[in-house]
Amino acid sequence: MQLHVIARGKIGRSPEGEMVERYGKRIAWGFKVTELPDRGGQMPPPASGPVRTVALDERGRQLTSTEFARILERWRDDGVREARFLIGAADGHDEALRDSADLLIAFGAMTWPHMLARAMLAEQLWRATSIVAGHPYHREG
């Protein structure tokens, strides 16, 4: 399954960008990042086959890393070809996008910088795929 981060804004050459790249290289499932302008721009076409959409949103569910891993594992096992992770601009996502998402997730009640949220997401995607693979990186409890 392809893990596709679609984010508003340009991360450029930055410590956060380096973290996204570092974790992305570790993900064995396939990892891709698409950047869109803060406003407008066309969403890339989905992969052929089933696609799931996850929006990072302050109203989203707060999942443990293991719960997140199990969701991704179930989607993979169900034949989902692409899981899209949407990170909005400063004003977040509009209601229509939130309503159409398969899952809304939040990284807690605090507000996080969008560039840091990308790095956090990349790490959680790597952590989730590591959990599914039985890798000892994740320590729960």
Tokens of 13: 């050459």
107 annotated binding-site participant: yes
Tally Cβ neighbours within 10 Å of residue 72: 22
Tokens of 5: 């981060």
Strands across the sheet with 103-105, in order? 31-36, 2-8, 82-87, 51-61, 103-105
CA distance 93 to 5: 15
Angle between helix axes 15-26 and 114-133 (nearest 10 degrees) is: 20
120 annotated binding-site participant: no
103 annotated binding-site participant: no
109 annotated binding-site participant: yes
112 annotated binding-site participant: yes
Collapsing DSSP to helix, strand or coil, 102 comes out as coil
Location of structure tokens 């997140």: 68
Bridge-partner residues for 85, per DSSP? Answer: 5, 54
Q: Which residues are known binding-site members for S-adenosyl-L-methionine? A: 56, 88, 107-112
Residue ranges for the binding site? 56, 88, 107-112
